[in-house]
Amino acid sequence: MEFKISILLAFVGFAVIVFRLLRVGRRPSSYPPGPPTVPILGNIHQVSDSPSALSDPALHEHSTLTSRKMPSRDAHLQFQKWAQEYGPVYSLILGTKTLIVLSSDVAVKDLLDKRSGIYSSRQDMYVGMTLCSGDLRLLMMQYGPKWRGIRKMVHGLLNIQAAKSYVPYQVLENKQMLYEMLVQPEKFLENIRRYSNSLTTSMVFGWRAPTYDNKDVKQLFEGFEQFSVINQTGTAALIDFFPILRRLPDWVLPTQAKAKELHEKEKRLYVNHWLNCKKAIQAGTANPCFCVSMAKVQETEGFSDDQAGYISGTLLEAGSDTTSSTLYGFVQAMVCFPEVQKRAQQEIDGVVGASRLPTMEDEPNMQYIRGCVKESLRWMPTTILGAVPHAVTRDDEYMGFHIPKGAGVLNNVWGIHMDPTRYPDPRRYDPERYKDDFQNAGDAASNPDASKRDHFTFGAGRRICPGMHVAERSLFLGISRLLWAFNFEPALDEQGREVPPDPEKLTQGFVCMPEPYKARITSRSSERAEMVRREWREAGELLDSTTNQWKTVPEGMDLSMLGKNMQD
């Protein structure tokens, strides 16, 4: 009799386990709607290219489980399609986790902005944050006192007042970019990337990257790429979505071993750059930069060198992509929309003329160029799916739907930017959309009227990009001066026929940009070409002839003001 009872209890226990397991992956009826789920996986097999679960053969084995399969690339198009089908707020069930997707300006304003007190955290990202980053990476850090303290420091470097002090760095790097466009136009992507990279290393560490293949920058960005690759595997997604898998040894899940190895390598690199900057500070040779100010705060706050290294390294990681990818998209837009290029050049010529380069002081008089900056950020958004999703820290209700505590909340930037009710004919590059918009990005983001926001590339709420003011200035200088100096036309094939780029072909991953394309870039006149040469020649006199680093602190840099901002 006891044996029969034992068998019965075992059967009941097994049945309960199976029942609970099969409930994993289901969408509760109170959640926002979304695509059909399957047991255990939920929608994982459909979002293998999402910001949290990217392509891996193991996931594609399950792709036949539903007729609504996720393509192996261009996830943003599927997220847009789901928004059209399920509405501005829908949900995806990713194993044991939930992702809420916001695809309207109103939803982003209502939740990420107005309820930012509970919508500013991150989900548990075991591979990316714990294994790859030692819980030190600001991008993936959960909301709390530690994140707020670091964010305060970053704001001190990049707020609108501090951003003005970095114009000397922006101007010099811009002049080198123009010169390189003149002498090696076929390498225009490298020219743009060097501009962005060098500007960011100058602002963060105080040293510039005079060449595209600078070894220090190369080491940093190789690490970024490895971090991205590891976090874009289906294995990493499964470990994140099914925590029980974390108990398996590394030989079963080699992704875990690779992540730990990357962290040790990355930490050495970040901390070494930070410590080198501290030595320069002590020797009195450091240029104004974020690390100079962070060293002062470290004295009072006492955070570790490991944390300081990751703060500075993460800033470099975040700061280099937006400007270079957006400028690369802008060049493509000029090739594809010559009528816009012509009108923009007419405005520049009317304000500046042919005898000097545009400056930041010209910005108020160039509304069409300001529109080009905004439209470039809208038309080709680098954070196409909002980069890393936010997370809600307590249960909430919105539009009659339940949003569970711990759910990820994704800002569907592409879906909002391509909404024809908000932006008529959204794939047309049209700076005229902003002819009456005189806000900067920060003002637009904080505007209580969601319909008045220019674009959503910089994010929202308390996680909004703190570097948007610097990025806007870099983009204005880059766009206005490139248009002042050059014409942009489609490349030619062997028969002399134009080969326009395809703006729908984008790279994949957290941050996107146009796939590599060719273009013809030519000087608008010999006089302008000579001015580009002269400007770079004169700028070069400010640099050491051996190291190509600044000889002295650039005129216009205010180190004391930057230090003060860090404490405010």
Binding residues: 465
If phi > 0 it is left, if psi is from -120 to 50 it is alpha, else beta; for residue 467 that is alpha
Q: What are the two backbone dihedrals, phi and then psi, of residue 498, each rounded to the nearest 5 degrees?
A: -70, 140
3-state secondary structure of 206: coil
Q: What is the DSSP letter of 194?
A: H
Single-letter residue type at 413 = V
CB 300 within 8 Å of CB 567: no
Separation of alpha carbons 457 and 203, rounded Å: 22
Q: What are the two backbone dihedrals, phi and then psi, of residue 93, each rounded to the nearest 5 degrees?
A: -100, 115
Q: Residue 503's closest CA among 354, 375, 393, 374?
A: 375
Strand partners of residue 93: 98
Separation of alpha carbons 238 and 246, rounded Å: 10
Single-letter residue type at 484 = W
399-419 as b/e, with b when 16 or more CB fall inside 10 Å?
Answer: eebebbebbbbbbbbbbbbbb
Residue ranges of the annotated binding site for heme are: 465
Single-letter residue type at 393 = T
Count Cα neighbours of 325 within 13 Å in the Cβ-side half-sphere.
Answer: 25
| CA separation, residue 131 to residues 136, 239, 250, 258 (Å) | 10, 11, 12, 9
Q: What share of the chain is helix, strand, coil (3-state, %, to 5)?
A: 55, 10, 35
Chain-centroid distance, C-alpha 78: 20
List the Cα angle 356/360/364 in 5-degree steps.
105
CB 477 within 8 Å of CB 164: no
- Contacts of residue 120, defined as CB under 8 A and 6 or more positions apart, other chains included, come to 112, 143, 390, 461, 462, 463
List the Cα angle 466/510/490 in 5-degree steps.
95
Q: Residue 347's closest CA among 225, 432, 418?
A: 432
